[in-house]
Amino acid sequence: MKIKGKLNKPRLYIFKSNKHLYANIIDDHNQKVLTSTSSLSKYIKNETNQFANCQVAKLIGKNIGIKLKKLGINQIIFDRGKNIYHGQVKELAEATRNEGINF
């Protein structure tokens, strides 16, 4: 089952590679990526010098929450892909919720 965002609710898509973690906010209606952040981004690299782990996932979640608030978005649809809701994915989701984003 493919998860799709709605007109007023973009989709937060999580992708994990072996070393890095990516979070993309996708507007499925217009087929655009609104904003994104990852463990490779400048903000995250300045905060920590590690590959993807739970601490980095929290920073990514916080950063994506701040970017969403700047865009005026407070409702999203969470798409974890084929990843289980555990560890890094869970930490990222909770950090995003702590920034006031609802899903």
pLDDT, the chain, mean: 93
SS3 category, 47:
helix
| Dist. CA 88–CA 94, nearest whole Å | 10
Whether pTM exceeds 0.85: yes
The pairing of beta strand 77-79 with beta strand 11-16: parallel
Tokens of 78: 């969470």
Give the per-residue pLDDT at 1. 62
Q: What is the pLDDT of residue 8?
A: 85
Work out the average pLDDT over 61-75. 95
Assigned CATH topology for domain 11-98? Nucleotidyltransferase; domain 5 (3.30.420)
